[in-house]
Amino acid sequence: MAYQVAVIGSGAEHEARAEEVGRLLAERGCAVVCGGRDEVMAAAARGAKAAGGVTIGILPGETRAGVNEWIDHVVVTGVGHARNLAVAASGDAVIAIGGAWGTLTEIGFAGVLGRPLVILEPGWQIEGVPRAATPEEAVDLALSLLGGAE
């Protein structure tokens, strides 16, 4: 079974790095899980699809409304921000790119669930969480924490 890696975050200024992370994950055989909407989420999914990868979007609402065009499989939760738990839980590892309070909740859930977590620079500063300077380093580190790509 291939790994699923959750890519979390927000901020249009982080889209180029998120797209590269999505592409690199897909090239390594990983499915990309995200919140299914815009900015970092859309960019990661776009990068994964460009490399022939599989994408999963976990939406906060009760319908598929607002899902980005690069999502293959949509999970409709109807639980609003509580969907952040499902995003973190659905990744075998988690890569955080940019983000605000919602991303911080996903980082917290990843920690509580014991998911390997990497923060791509610049990003939240969380003691004990490894940081990566480049998309390549973030993907390599996340997969190494899982024991390598399958």
Task: Give the CATH number, domain containing residue 58.
Answer: 3.40.50.450
Cα–Cα distance list, 41 to 49, 85, 132, 135, 138 (Å): 12, 15, 19, 15, 16
pLDDT digits (tens, 9 = 90+) for 14-29: 999 999 999 999 999 9
Is pLDDT at 9 greater than 90 in this prediction? yes
Q: Position 43: which residue type?
A: A
pLDDT digits (tens, 9 = 90+) for 98-141: 999 999 999 999 999 999 999 999 999 999 999 999 999 999 99
Whether 134 and 113 have beta carbons less than 8 Å apart is answered as no
Q: How many CA atoms lie within 13 A of 118 on its CB side?
A: 27
Question: Which range marks the domain in which residue 76 is found?
Answer: 6-19+29-85+99-128
Is pLDDT at 1 greater than 80 in this prediction? no
In a domain? residue 63: yes
Q: What is the pLDDT of residue 147?
A: 83
In a domain? residue 142: no
Q: Supply 108's token pair.
A: 């917290």
In a domain? residue 149: no
- Considering only the C-alpha atoms of the chain, give the largest distance between any 2 of them, rounded to a whole number of Å: 37
